[in-house]
Amino acid sequence: MPKLAKPLTDTQVRTTKPKEKSYTLPDGGGMYLEISPVGSKIWRMSYRQENGKQNRLTFGAYPEVSLIQARAKRADARKLLSEGIDPAQFKREAKVAKSIAATHTFEAVATTWLEKTASTRASTTQEKVTNWLNKDVFPYIGKLPVSTIKPTDVLAAIRFMEARGAIDSSHRVKQICGQVLRYAVAIGLAERDVTSDLKGALTVAVKTNYAAITDPKEVGELMRAIFNYSGHPYAVAALKLSPLLFVRPGELRSAEWTEIDLDTAEWRIPGEKMKMKMDHIVPLSTQSIEILKSVHAMTGHRKYVFPSIRTYDRCMSENTVNAALRSMGYAKERMTAHGFRAMARTILDEVLEERVDLIEHQLAHAVKDPNGRAYNRTAHLPARRQMMQRWSDYLDELRKGAIVLPIRA
């Protein structure tokens, strides 16, 4: 019966010297230390595959890999062998998987997802989602392989947003991360969307309405302040159009000249830019046309009506109109860019007594006919055109100090 080799000691491994030819020191279980003539010491393990073929593994060099660590690697290899798995093949596949995981980081997958789904979002929304990812997500989990993302990784990133008070945005960012992870699942790079485990973990957002001025006297003061505002020409024009058109701020700042017909006095907003995903027509009053013509002289040769002052390839910043209101002394608790919609909705109904359905149509809210079908974009267009002109004329009267009609009870 062959004599079994005694297990190596750390002293043996440390003090063994090179010889003229390579030689080995066995440790048992197929593992041995190979000493080369130049003095390098490599841990290896010989084993026999299921087909009877001899093979070997390399565990690394001593002292980077200690005796204890080499034995742990041997134990892992023997466990794989007991399960009918070739440890060398397993090691190769693990290396490939690691390489793939390193390539498919959360940032790489999210960037691809952004590009592939861009057509489903308005350009302003695309820009907002991109900014959220770049500023609030990628710095924390962007470099992690998407297959290794844990719920706590996503939560850690979102906590930074909560800490600065961006509660609403943090919920939206969690949804975006979930969409990216579901895309990763669909293309075979992740097992599941781990954000589903974050239910109840985020700070609850308190629902609040956008601040808006609805008292006619105060609206007159606001209109005078707007016409006296002396900021950047693009910001001045956008600020003047905000109460006249009362579209959503994102729709206004992303307006393109190809959508606007100054001759027919119409702005046709494509559905992909709208919240309800339906085409929308905004009749332009004579006051709106005058403002747009002044802007056309500056940006008519560009894509956007209100381009960014930094690059013409992007539209105006989402904070421009709000920043103008703040510089005029209107705090966010008193008036916001979105508040022009509530201002128009209230006064058109309660002061000018316009038809509610026309107002709702012009606000691009969901309005249905008696049969429950949504009206198309041209519904009541002549009546809406007249209403928009009356609204612009009324705002002019308030600005000039004409008689103010009180809101009826």
Tracing tokens 């012009």 back to the chain, one arrives at 362
Residues in the chain, total: 409
What are 62's strand-pairing partners? 41
Please list the active-site residues: 248, 275, 338, 341, 365, 375
3-state secondary structure of 24: strand
- Report the distance separating Cα 58 and Cα 68, nearest Å: 15
- What DSSP line would sit under 268-323, residue for residue? EE-GGGSTTSS-EEEE--HHHHHHHHHHHHHHTTSSBSSB-SS-TTSB--TTHHHH
Q: Which of 225, 227, 140 is nearest to 177 (CA)?
A: 140
231: phi then psi, degrees, rounded to nearest 5: -85, -160
- What DSSP line would sit under 183-246, residue for residue? HHHHTTS-S--GGGGGTTTSPPPPP-PPP----HHHHHHHHHHHHT--S-HHHHHHHHHHHHH-
Query: Are the beta carbons of 235 and 249 closer than 8 angstroms?
Result: no
